[in-house]
């Protein structure tokens, strides 16, 4: 039967490893992982599902899934037909070609369902088959749906975590958990942004389409408010051309400030890092990067009303931003849903103009918390 999702078959021989990422941050992690593995095992037959970064480095790239990334109940529901076809076809591909190992990167809502299906179909080792299942980046069971750890114990062979405290959540399971550290702290990592006192604001709404639609307009309104205090410029770093097109659509609604905002491709920023004095950032991966760089700013999070309501029922932690969660206090003030008012955000941001020393201390504290990893992720996966 022909696959609805165009996953190419292996040209010949066995598949040593299939690496799967479902959104942009996972795609970046996957690309680093592939590069590290190929240094250890140059002849490894690696196949990848992810995004443009993985496509660039993977010996065999199957499908760009990161471009379809969705988060939240309503957003996933709207894309349900696509994800059903992908789920069905990727399981069929795995069953036909039997990779020796699979490494899922983040996106547990999708990947743990695939792991369960491979177990039920007796394809994975835990189900009596031959395919080993690894998961890189733990789901936040310490925040919500803690019982997932038992399903992971039942279906996975190994788990790698980014933060040292995450392993404690699995101590009542037999699942092997390894702290591989966060890639932002690896010696070769180069941040695309850094602190510079230059009256430039970073506007970083995230890498998902719904983030741009829900969060970016509020960022633009807040940046517009900031102009009342003097002349500011802004930089928005984007991961894909699809996201750039959405950013440009929103910018056209703000003709008075659009000329003050530069859109810069993430790859270009990583080659030539950009300096900025303040940041407006969503609660995702880039908020953690900003904290490590000690850039003063605030976190904004907005989503559909239904997704927000469901999240409030399920999530039992006081903060959304990773730096706040790790340190246990609100080093980055969070403005969520109806509380994300442009005038309030602009005032708070302007109060942080001279707060560099405070946020440098935040950076140092975070780095101390994340030391002493057990091994890097490439070595973990090559065992």
pLDDT of residue 77: 46
Domain match, 128 and 23 both:
yes
Domain that holds residue 203: 193-369
Q: What is the pLDDT of residue 382?
A: 87
In a shared domain, residues 200 and 344? yes
Confidence at residue 142, expressed as pLDDT on a 0 to 100 scale: 65
Residue after which a domain boundary falls, among 148, 179, 210: 179
Question: How much is the pLDDT for 84?
Answer: 84
pLDDT of residue 2: 47
In a shared domain, residues 160 and 224: no
Do 197 and 169 share a structural domain? no
3-state secondary structure the chain: CCCCCCCCCCCCCCCCEEEEECCHHHHHHHHHHHHHHHHHCCCCCEEEEECHHHHHHCCEEEEECHHHCCCCHHHHHHCHHHHHHHHHHHHHHHHHHCCCEEEEECCHHHHHHHHHHHHHCCCEHHHCCCEEEEEECCCCCCCCCCCHHHHHHHHCCEEEECCHHHHHHHCCCCCCEEECCCHHHCCCCCCCEEECCCCEEEEECCCCHHHHHHHHHHHHHHHHHHHHHCCCEEEEEECCHHHHHHHHHHHCCCCCCHHHEEEEEHHHHHHCCEEECEEEECCCHHHHHHHHHCCCEEEEECCCHHHHHHHHHHCCCCCCCHHHHHHCCCCCEEEEHHHCCHHHHHHHHHCCCCCHHHHHHHHHHHHHHCCCCCCCHHHHHCC
Count of domains in the chain?
2
User: For residue 211, what pLDDT is reported?
Assistant: 81
**Spans in the chain with pLDDT lower than 50:** 1-2, 71-77
Q: What is the pLDDT of residue 5?
A: 60
Task: Please give the pLDDT value at position 369.
Answer: 83
Q: Which of 179, 212, 235 is the last residue of a domain?
A: 179
State residue 55's pLDDT score: 94
Residues 175 and 233 in one domain: no
Domain co-membership, 133 together with 222 = no
The verdict on residue 270 lying in a domain is yes
């Amino acid at each position: 039967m022909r696959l609805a999702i165009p996953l190419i078959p292996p040209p010949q021989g066995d598949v040593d490893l299939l690496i799967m990422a479902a959104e942009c941050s996972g795609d970046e992690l996957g690309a680093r992982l592939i590069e590290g593995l190929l240094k250890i095992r140059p002849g490894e037959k690696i196949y990848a599902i992810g995004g443009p970064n993985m496509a660039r480095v993977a010996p065999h790239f199957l499908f760009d899934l990161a471009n379809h990334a969705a988060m939240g109940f309503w957003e996933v529901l709207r894309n349900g037909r696509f994800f059903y076809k992908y789920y069905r076809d990727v399981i069929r591909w795995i069953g036909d070609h039997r990779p020796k190992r699979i490494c899922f990167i983040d996106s547990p809502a999708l990947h743990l369902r695939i792991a369960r299906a491979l177990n039920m179909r007796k394809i994975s080792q835990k189900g009596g088959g031959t395919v080993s299942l690894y998961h890189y980046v733990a789901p936040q069971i310490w925040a919500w749906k803690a019982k997932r750890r038992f399903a992971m114990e039942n279906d996975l062979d190994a788990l790698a975590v980014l933060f040292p405290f995450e392993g404690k959540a699995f101590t009542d399971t037999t699942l092997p958990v390894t702290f591989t550290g966060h890639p932002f702290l690896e010696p070769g990592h180069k941040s695309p942004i850094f602190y510079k006192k230059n009256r430039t604001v970073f506007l970083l709404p995230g890498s998902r389409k719904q983030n741009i639609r829900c969060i970016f307009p509020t960022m633009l309104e807040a940046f517009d408010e900031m102009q009342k205090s003097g002349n500011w410029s802004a930089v928005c770093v984007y991961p894909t051309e699809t996201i750039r097109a959405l950013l440009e659509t929103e910018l056209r609604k703000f003709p008075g400030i659009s000329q003050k905002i530069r859109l810069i491709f993430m790859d270009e920023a990583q080659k030539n890092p950009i300096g900025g004095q303040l940041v407006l950032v969503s609660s995702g991966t880039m908020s953690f990067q900003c904290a490590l760089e000690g850039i003063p700013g605030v976190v904004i999070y907005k989503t559909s009303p239904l997704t927000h309501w469901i999240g409030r029922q399920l999530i039992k932690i006081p903060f959304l931003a990773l730096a706040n969660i790790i340190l246990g206090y609100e080093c980055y003030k969070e403005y969520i849903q109806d509380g994300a008012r442009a005038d309030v955000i602009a005032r708070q941001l302007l109060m942080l103009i001279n707060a560099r020393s405070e946020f440098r201390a935040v950076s140092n504290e975070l780095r101390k918390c994340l030391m002493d990893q057990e091994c890097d992720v490439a070595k973990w996966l090559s065992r």
